[in-house]
Amino acid sequence: MKVVITGGAGFLGRRLAAKLLERGALTGPDGTARNIDEIVLVDLAPATGFDDARIRPVTSDIADPSVLSRVIDAETRTVFHLAAVVSAQAEADFDLGMRVNVDATRLLLDTCRTVGHRPRVVFTSSVAVYGGTLPVVVRDDTAVNPQSSYGVQKAIGELLVSDYSRKGFIDGRVLRLPTVSVRPGKPNKAASAFASGIIREPLHGEESVCPVAPDTRVWLLSPRRAIECLVQGHEVPAEALERGRAVNLPGVSVSAGEMVTALQQIAGKAVAARVRWEIDPAIERIVGSWPGAWDTARANALGFTGDKDFHSIVRAYIEDDRGRGVRA
Amino acid sequence: MKVVITGGAGFLGRRLAAKLLERGALTGPDGTARNIDEIVLVDLAPATGFDDARIRPVTSDIADPSVLSRVIDAETRTVFHLAAVVSAQAEADFDLGMRVNVDATRLLLDTCRTVGHRPRVVFTSSVAVYGGTLPVVVRDDTAVNPQSSYGVQKAIGELLVSDYSRKGFIDGRVLRLPTVSVRPGKPNKAASAFASGIIREPLHGEESVCPVAPDTRVWLLSPRRAIECLVQGHEVPAEALERGRAVNLPGVSVSAGEMVTALQQIAGKAVAARVRWEIDPAIERIVGSWPGAWDTARANALGFTGDKDFHSIVRAYIEDDRGRGVRA
């Protein structure tokens, strides 16, 4: 079988590809394991660094209608749709966000529908679909109420994935990802970029600006666990998703202040002192609209596993990335 | 000022136009009343029967990008976006539903954005955005969970209207309409068409088939009140909608069985006996997923008024429509 990963040259896309190469197989539509013959990494940027004949990088824009129809074909049983214009960027460039987050998602679903064999589509959504006055406990079926264009666009993607699944066009799964932290490399244009930056930059000897108040609470998942959750999101049988296609993934709830305290406990006072607090109201407005925690009972029952605590997230980053000198 | 009504040749569109001609004015963006100089009725069908120089019928497809850019211009302060592919039709023809209910809605919002002066856009949504396991009390902020493509498409329209409003592109209002009953004329392709048919046809001496069980509960609003609510939805100041752009309009909750009982009490046993019960599972699945009632506290506080009871709805139909022999 063939797997397509959009955003395949991105940080999560590349790690997911590496994990799939290692596994060698995914569950097929009949419930049995199928060998992965090809992993297509579609991205605007070239997906470099793989030395495996199963990897096929396609450097193209998924919003271009001809691209997806070339890469999704009769052999494609699985699509991980990770490509997106991130939160702060979608807020700054409304049309770009609509083009990639809405139009390309729909194009992808329509292409999957055209091949006719109901591919599994794992769609990554976000904490950003929530907002406004939130209940004390946020569950998978809590009302979405996005307060950013990114959140609106992801919520539209969720509705489409659900309806295309109900119609039998695809077998879709919506995974609402916590903020992934600690991401290696350079900061991206997500409003939540600080949630990696305030740990990563100080550990690399650089200053980092935290644009939200110390008591701002975020909901985090390590890259390692995020990749495991993406695979699990694929493996969950469709019958288990009858109550709803969207699953709120596990996370740890931590405030920006607690993050820096953890950094200090693990790496010392001098490292933690490299965080400078400078509120950016635009960032704080977006991040502050997201839930800082949610109920994970359903995710747990479906076999998803998160991190133990924020300390273990920081230690995982040091082991997986800083130790290998991964910066990009 | 100029008003545009999409679906302007439809039953609600024509009545709304008549009501606006009678009022002569609507509140402008500065909060003061402005005279209506022109009402553009855009519809696939010709909007006939008006004898007023202010009415301009435009017989065109709103999903055609050139159409809306011709009718929405610098003088357009208000758009009532009523045009839609209805529920059973959108379920049967998925692509048509997406084209009209999603693409044309977005095109309309983008056209309003282009004119640059933030027109008021009244968008009609529906009970169909709800579904699944509903709480005992459905409120404006209850999670949408559409179980039909029509509901999904309306939910996407709601998200877009909210985000375009938040971004300052338009001043949007989402009115979630109950099933409008008793509609005059011929049955349309809505799954809820029976909610008019089982009253209208027997009153005209014809048999009518009820495709849902007698205990199926529907949430109804008379045409008369629906038009008043559309106008009120326009008149509500934007500040009153800060908690959310979507308002669940008032209605009366009645079962199909109770509707026929009311008909019998008003028009006699022989008339009510013209209703034949014959369950259509496809219709029952769609209608059964909708809430049979919702909490109207917010709508009431915003000045919307519904009907007293179902008996008064039947009597209003007899007064407004049957008496005038209105059948189309």
Asked if B143 lies within 8 A of A146 by C-beta distance, the reply is: no
Q: ipTM score of the complex?
A: 0.94
Name the token pair of A228: 């495991």
Residues in chain A: 328
pLDDT score of B30: 81
Residues of A in contact with B155 (CB under 8 A): 159
Q: What is the pTM of this model?
A: 0.95
Going by C-beta distance under 8 Å and a sequence separation of 6 or more, which residues neighbour residue B269? none
Closest-CA residue of B relative to A163 is B149
Residues of A in contact with B132 (CB under 8 A): 141, 243-244
The verdict on a CB contact (< 8 Å) between A141 and B145 is: yes
B234, B26 contact by CB (below 8 A): yes
**For B132, nearest residue in chain A (alpha carbons):** A243
Find the CB nearest A143 among B132, B143, B146: B143
Enter the tokens of residue A98. Answer: 């609509």
Planar angle of CA B124, B99, A68, nearest 5 degrees: 135
Contact B41, B5 (CB under 8 A): yes
Residues of chain A with pLDDT under 70: 323-328
pLDDT score for B235:
97
Q: Among B291, B281, B146, B292, which Cα is nearest to B213's?
A: B281
Closest approach of chain B CAs to the CA of A149, in angstroms? 6
Nearest to A176 by CA among A23, A290, A7, A253: A290
The CATH homologous superfamily to which domain B194-217+252-295+303-322 belongs is UDP-galactose 4-epimerase, domain 1 (3.90.25.10)
Beta bridge partners of B121: B79, B172
What does the pLDDT read at residue B324? Answer: 60
Output the pLDDT for position A105. Answer: 98
Find the length of chain B.
Answer: 328
Residue pair A82/A19 in contact (Cβ under 8 Å)? The answer is no
Suggest the residue from A163, A167, A176, A285 to mutate for an interface test with chain B (most B CBs closer than 10 A): A163
Bridge-based pairing of strands A246-248 and A208-210 is unpaired
Q: Do B152 and A145 touch (CB under 8 A)?
A: no
Who among B94, B143, B166 is closest to A141 (CB)? B143
Q: What was the pLDDT predicted at B328? A: 38
A→B contacts (Cβ < 8 Å), by residue, are: 94, 132, 141-147, 149, 152, 155-156, 159-160, 162-163, 166-167, 243-244
What is residue B110's DSSP assignment? H
Cβ distance of B244 and A155 shorter than 8 Å:
no
C-alpha distances (whole Å) from B294 to each of B60, B225, B259 are 36, 17, 18
- Would you state the pLDDT for residue A328? 38
pLDDT confidence of residue B310: 97
Q: What is the pLDDT along chain B (328 residues), one digit of tens a residue?
A: 999 999 999 999 999 999 999 999 999 878 899 999 999 999 999 999 999 999 999 999 999 989 999 999 999 999 999 999 998 999 999 999 999 999 999 999 999 999 999 999 999 999 999 999 898 889 999 999 999 999 999 999 999 999 999 999 999 999 999 999 999 988 888 999 999 999 999 999 999 999 999 999 999 999 999 999 999 999 999 999 998 999 999 999 999 999 999 999 999 999 999 999 999 999 999 999 899 999 999 999 999 999 999 999 999 999 987 766 544 3
The position carrying tokens 């747990």 is: A300
Model pLDDT, residue B327: 45
- Give A246's strand partners: A174
Tell me the domain boundaries of chain A. Answer: 2-178+222-248
Q: Which top CATH class is A2-178+222-248?
A: alpha beta
User: In B, which residues are within 8 Å of A162 by CB distance?
Assistant: 152
Residue B141: its pLDDT value, please?
A: 93
For residue A4, give both structure tokens: 């397509």
CATH topology of domain B2-177+221-248: Rossmann fold (3.40.50)
**Distance in angstroms (rounded) separating the CA atoms of residues A98 and A149:** 8
CA distance, residue A157 to nearest chain B CA (Å)? 9
